[in-house]
């Protein structure tokens, strides 16, 4: 009898030791929660587009996906609890500095940031520019609140943690994990507001994540993270950069108002190839003579590609083109770049390289 009990105890102890060994071997992933739809709740299960964002705290998000424990040792921090359309430059700086502090810790292998989808692409690109680490940083959101039928948040969060825990995600820049895809934080944008496949890159995803495993197909070509000349630890404030939308019958009213409010640069969200209406050109040239940087981008959703000296003589006017960056991403790069230089030629180099 005693022998049988001893045997059972030994088996139990061995099992515990094995479990502890697995836990000790697991990568450590920190989830930084900022709010958004992934933390939202609707009144009924049929409410997939009508709900309140930023309601569920990070501990409940983690508890709602117990499978996370199979891929990483996870802990959470509630950084903000807001809808992402309310993100400001101050929020970006605070989040960036917290991420920078965490990636320096030996006991942190990866970071996941839960985020509202409205400005998720902006935060992802900002972190891609200013965080000096090759550790995986993965942003994740959802298009439906967790209370809705076919809610996408649970799987998105599981995939994000699995991606952040994987060694093969290192060195690929800041990632966005949505709808089974792994996209570059530089390229990806929200293309529609009511479907789970909302986030797309005009140049395609970097990879896919299936049942917790990453499958990679391409690498980011532009400078990012460890190869970036920008460092969040050296940035304490961000200059104001505004966006003015180009359209038929457009006037220069918005551009002048942005400059009067203190904007150091204005992103022209132009039609087609960043086209500028002829009745706006004189106003933009005047603003440039006053020291305001003029940056031509395109609001073409599927990938506006602005060519220098096409449509407008950028060299003559001393304007900058945003390359393939959409207006909101161009704003992020401009506000980061202006912390280091106010020279238009240097700004153009930065837009080519990032």
| 231 belongs to an annotated ligand binding site | no
* Nearest CA-CA partner of 351 in 316, 311, 317, 314: 314
CA angle 7, 12, 13 (to 5 degrees): 95
Which candidate in 34, 114, 117, 147 is catalytic? 117
**Dihedral over alpha carbons 173, 116, 164, 171 (to 10 degrees):** 0
Q: Which of 322, 348, 346 is closest to 125 using CA atoms?
A: 322
Given 34, 37, 123, 147, the catalytic residue: 37
What number of other Cβ atoms are within 10 A of residue 10's Cβ? 10
Is 133 annotated among the ligand-binding residues?
Answer: no
In angstroms, the first-to-last Cα distance of the chain is: 71
Residue 252: CA count within 13 A, CB half-sphere: 16
Q: How far apart are CA 318 and CA 316, in angstroms?
A: 6
Q: Quick check: is 253 catalytic?
A: no
Instruction: Tell me if 187 is assigned to a ligand binding site.
Output: no
Place of tokens 């948040």: 153
At which residue do the structure tokens 């009898």 appear?
Answer: 1
The answer to whether 335 is a known catalytic residue is no
- Cα–Cα dist 205/207, whole Å: 5
Which DSSP string corresponds to 26-67?
SPEEEEEEEESGGG-B-SSTT-SSS-BSS-S-HHHHHHT-GG
| Dihedrals phi, psi of 275, to nearest 5 degrees | -60, 145
Name the binding residues.
84, 117-118
Catalytic residue list: 37, 117
Name the binding residues for substrate.
84, 117-118
């Amino acid at each position: 009898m005693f022998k049988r009990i001893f045997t059972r105890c030994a088996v139990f102890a061995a099992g515990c030791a094995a479990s502890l060994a697995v836990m000790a071997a697991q990568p450590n992933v920190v989830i930084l929660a900022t709010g958004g739809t992934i933390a939202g709740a609707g009144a009924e299960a049929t409410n997939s587009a009508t709900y309140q964002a930023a309601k569920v705290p990070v501990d409940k998000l983690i508890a709602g996906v117990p499978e996370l424990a199979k891929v990483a040792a996870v802990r959470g921090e509630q950084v903000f609890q807001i809808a992402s359309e309310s993100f400001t430059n101050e929020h970006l700086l605070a989040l960036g500095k917290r991420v920078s502090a965490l990636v320096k810790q030996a006991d942190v292998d990866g970071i996941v940031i839960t985020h509202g989808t409205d400005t998720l692409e902006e935060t992802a690109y900002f972190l891609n520019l200013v965080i000096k680490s090759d550790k995986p940083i993965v942003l994740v959101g959802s298009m439906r609140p967790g209370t809705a039928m076919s809610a996408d948040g649970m799987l998105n969060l599981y995939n994000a943690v699995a991606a952040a825990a994987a060694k093969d995600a290192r060195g690929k820049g800041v990632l966005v994990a949505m709808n089974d895809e792994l996209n570059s934080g530089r390229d990806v944008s929200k293309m529609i507001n009511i479907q789970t496949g909302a986030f797309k890159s005009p140049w395609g995803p970097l990879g896919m994540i299936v049942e917790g495993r990453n499958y990679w197909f391409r690498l980011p070509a532009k400078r990012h993270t460890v190869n970036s000349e920008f460092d969040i630890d050296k940035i304490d404030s961000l200059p104001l950069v505004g966006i003015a939308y180009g359209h038929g019958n457009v006037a220069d009213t918005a551009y002048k108002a942005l400059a009067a409010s203190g904007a150091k640069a204005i992103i022209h969200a132009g039609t087609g190839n960043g086209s500028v209406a002829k009745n706006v050109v004189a106003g933009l040239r005047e603003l440039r003579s006053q020291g305001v940087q003029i940056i031509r981008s395109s609001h073409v959703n599927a990938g506006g590609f602005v060519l220098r000296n096409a449509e407008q003589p950028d060299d003559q006017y001393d304007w900058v083109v945003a390359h393939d960056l959409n207006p909101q991403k161009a704003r992020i790069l401009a506000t980061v770049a202006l912390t280091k230089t106010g020279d238009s030629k240097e700004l153009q180099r930065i837009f080519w390289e990032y």
